Amino acid sequence: MDWKLLVSSFVSIFLAELGDKTQLATLSLAAGGSSRWAVFVGSALALTATSAIAVLFGEGLSKVVPALWVRRLAGALFIALGVVFLIKSRS
């Protein structure tokens, strides 16, 4: 087990998820629902499923594209999306 990678992944995803739309949707469902456990299990399974898809896609992509270019592409995509969201927020 690569503990450094595990901790890095946990911290990165944990910080990225704080206050995002997924957490706000979960908060809303928990506030309006009768079972906090059902909301917790459902949201945990959803996050696990989307993470599994990302891991599988990333693994497959790394066999075709070097990891350096995957990181560069991901960084460029984050920047591009940030610019798009900034532009849309002004209109």
Q: pLDDT confidence of 18, banded at 50, 70, 90?
A: confident
Q: pLDDT confidence of 43, banded at 50, 70, 90?
A: very high
How much of the chain exceeds pLDDT 90, in percent? 65
| Least trusted range by pLDDT, from 23-32, 37-46, 58-67, 82-91 | 82-91
Among all chains, which residue has been given the structure tokens 């920047």? 79
* pLDDT over threshold 90, residue 20: no
User: Model-level pTM?
Assistant: 0.70
Q: Report CA 88 to chain centroid distance, whole Å.
A: 22
The encoded tokens of residue 18 equal 């704080």
Sketch the domain layout of the chain as residue ranges.
3-65
Higher-confidence position of 19 and 58: 58
